[in-house]
Structure 1
Amino acid sequence: MLYSAFPEGRQALVDAVALQGFTAVAEALEAVPAEPLLRLRAYLDFAAARPRLYEAMFTLPSGLRFGAGRGPEPLRRAFAAVQAAFPGTDATRAEVAWALVHGLATLQAGGRLPRSRARARLQQAHRLLTSP
């Protein structure tokens, strides 16, 4: 049985899958230059290409925590890739960028936003996040 590999139970399995997802999203973000539009697009492309993994990362209950430089290395690495494109005096700008692109990814995956405007949404998100 799969759970036997995780003596801590189902939650440990979900967290392990989520951590693999954060490693993969970090790799996808790091594969493009730290230019905001490219990182936003890479994030959305990752979420669209791996919808079940993305769901495990964010929708299933998890004991993983974000923020303030805490959490497992894959989460810190993924956040650092976002922060490299959206630097600021603190992590707030990167947090907002992640929240915005996550919202777009989630709504797009659920079919709640028209595909025909995906590019326009990406460009609008870029403008919102990079305007002074």
Structure 2
Amino acid sequence: MSPRPAPDLDLRREQITRTARDLAESEGWETVTMRRLAAELGMTQPVLYSAFTGGRQALVDAVAVDGFTALADALEAVDRDLPARMRAYLDFAMHRPRVYEAMFSLPSGLRFADGETPPPLRRAFAAIQDVVERRDETTAEVAWATLHGLATLERGGRLRPSQGEARLERAHGLLTT
């Protein structure tokens, strides 16, 4: 009998991350437990913990990092102007609410705005910085914070849906004066 091949850890992490993301998007983060994921994937909990030694927090962070990659892709896929990138950002937040939640609302072990910031986070930030008027980091942070505020309030149903385009135009005007 030949020895069992070693599992591809990257492939396993990818599968677990995708399942956690899909479960969160369909049923909410409160349903994403290591026990539930093990059952969904037909794995044991120790196998999950071997892929994510930091436990559930490491898994949520992996979903967030994947989210930043997807956000950067979405931002870079549209015209290199602020209004187009603002729309793409808000569309991402509205269509992937639980991933967005992992990126910005849930507790995180990810480092932001320092030397240890993961490349996907830096890439998403650069996609905003690239289209703000002065292209400096502070202006880009204000643009990002503005978009995050709009996304959070829109997702929470706290803004008038009929004024979405007007808000984007106003935010663009404020960021370019």
What TM-score, normalized to structure 1?
A: 0.93
Query: SS at 1:85's partner residue?
Result: coil
Q: Quick one: which of 133, 140, 155 aligns to 1:94?
A: 140
Q: Quick one: which of 80, 85, 95 aligns to 1:34?
A: 80
The residue number in structure 2 matching 1:76 is: 122
Once the two structures are superposed, residues 19-75 of structure 1 have per-residue CA deviations (whole angstroms, 9 ceiling, x without a partner) of 000000000000012201111111001111111111111111001122146400000
Give runs of ≥4 in structure 1 deviating > 3 Å: none
Query: SS at 1:61's partner residue?
Result: coil
1:89 to 1:36, Cα distance in 2 relative to 1, 3 A: closer
1:36 to 1:69, Cα distance in 2 relative to 1, 3 A: farther
Alignment gaps of 5+ in structure 2: 1-37, 39-44
Alignment gaps of 5+ in structure 1: none
Whether the aligned pair in 2 keeps the contact of 1:21 and 1:54 (CA below 8 Å) is: yes
Report whether the alignment pairs 1:24 with 2:70.
Answer: yes
The residue number in structure 2 matching 1:43 is: 89
Rg (Cα) greater in structure: 2
Higher relative contact order (CA 8 A, sep 6+): 1
What TM-score, normalized to structure 2?
A: 0.70
**One-letter amino acid of the counterpart of residue 63, structure 1:** G
**One-letter amino acid of the counterpart of residue 60, structure 2:** V
**One-letter amino acid of the counterpart of residue 10, structure 1:** R
Deviation at 1:89, TM superposition (A): 6.3
Q: Across the two proteins, how many residue pairs are aligned to each other?
A: 131
Q: Give the Cα–Cα distance (whole angstroms) in 2 for the partners of residues 79 and 50 of structure 1.
A: 18
Identity %: 63
